[in-house]
Structure 1
Amino acid sequence: MNIALSQNTILEDETVLLRPLQESDVENLLEFSINEPDTWKYSLVQANGKENLKKYIQIALKARDNGTEFPFIVFDKKSGKYAGSTRFYDINLEFKTLQLGYTWYGKNFRGTGLNKHCKFLLLQFAFETLGIERVEFRADNNNERSIAAMKSIGCKVEGVLRNHMPTLGSDARRDSIILSILKNEWLDEVKENLKSRL
Structure 2
Amino acid sequence: MIDFDFTANYILEDEIALLRPLEEADIVHLLQFAHQPDIWRFSTQKGDTEVALKKYLELAIEARTAQKEYPFVIIDKRTNAYAGSSRFYDVKPNQHNLTLGYTWYGQQFHGTGLNKHCKYLLFDFAFGNGFERVEFAADTTNLRSVAAMKSIGCTEEGVLRSNIIRLDGSRRDTIVLSMLKDEWENNLRQKLENKL
Q: Is TM (by shorter chain) over 0.5?
A: yes
SS in 2 for 1:196: helix
CA shift, 1:8, in A, is: 2.1
The superposition leaves residues 92-132 of structure 1 with CA deviations (integer Å, 9 ceiling, x where unpaired) of 10101000000000111011110000000000000012x10
- Distance of 1:120 and 1:4 partners within structure 2: 20
CA shift, 1:5, in A, is: 4.5
Say if 1:77 and 1:118 are closer, same or farther in 2 by CA, change over 3 A: same
- Distance of 1:11 and 1:87 partners within structure 2: 12
Does 2:70 correspond to 1:70?
Answer: yes
The superposition leaves residues 6-35 of structure 1 with CA deviations (integer Å, 9 ceiling, x where unpaired) of 4421000000100100112121111111x2
Q: What is the aligned partner in structure 2 of residue 56 from structure 1?
A: 56
- Distance of 2:158 and 2:65 partners within structure 1: 31
- TM-score for the superposition, normalised by structure 2: 0.96
Runs ≥4 in structure 1, deviation > 3 angstroms? 1-7
The superposition leaves residues 128-170 of structure 1 with CA deviations (integer Å, 9 ceiling, x where unpaired) of 12x1011000000000000011001110000000111111122
Q: What is the aligned partner in structure 1 of residue 192 from structure 2?
A: 194
Q: What is the aligned partner in structure 1 of residue 112 from structure 2?
A: 112
- Distance of 1:73 and 1:137 partners within structure 2: 18
State the Cα RMSD in Å.
1.3
CA shift, 1:37, in A, is: 2.1
CA shift, 1:2, in A, is: 3.9
Q: What is the aligned partner in structure 2 of residue 168 from structure 1?
A: 167
Does 2:13 correspond to 1:12?
Answer: yes
- Distance of 2:3 and 2:118 partners within structure 1: 20
Provide the aligned length of Structure 1 versus Structure 2: 195
Q: Percent identity?
A: 51
- TM-score for the superposition, normalised by structure 1: 0.95
Provide structure 1 residue ranges, at least 5 long, that are not aligned to the other structure: none
Q: Is the 8 A contact 2:16 2:78 kept in 1?
A: yes
- Distance of 2:79 and 2:3 partners within structure 1: 32
Say if 1:3 and 1:184 are closer, same or farther in 2 by CA, change over 3 A: closer
